[in-house]
Amino acid sequence: MEPDRIIFFEHPVLRQPDMVAAFLGWPNAAQVSTGTVSYIIDQLSAVKLAEMKSDDYYDFAAERK
């Protein structure tokens, strides 16, 4: 992956990290994924370390069946 595809906000030393991802659009029906992530952020006082564009990893031409 090219380094400029990920935007880093912080560079902490991580021990046993976990990643939680939420997607906008049809995977976020009734805002379940973004609502869940917002809840986790609030409960853990989490901070955003980085973000990336999903366009590089999602095939918009593929049909969901």
Strands 50-52 and 6-8: antiparallel
Q: Find tokens 């609502």 and name the residue.
A: 35
Which tokens sit at 18? 């976990």
Is the separation of the CB atoms in 65 and 59 below 8 Å? Answer: no
pLDDT higher than 60, residue 51 = yes
Mean pLDDT of the chain: 80
pLDDT band at 42 (very low <50, low <70, confident <90, very high): very high
Per-residue confidence (pLDDT) for residue 64, from 0 to 100: 64
pTM (2 d.p.) = 0.57
Q: What is the mean pLDDT of residues 38-64?
A: 81
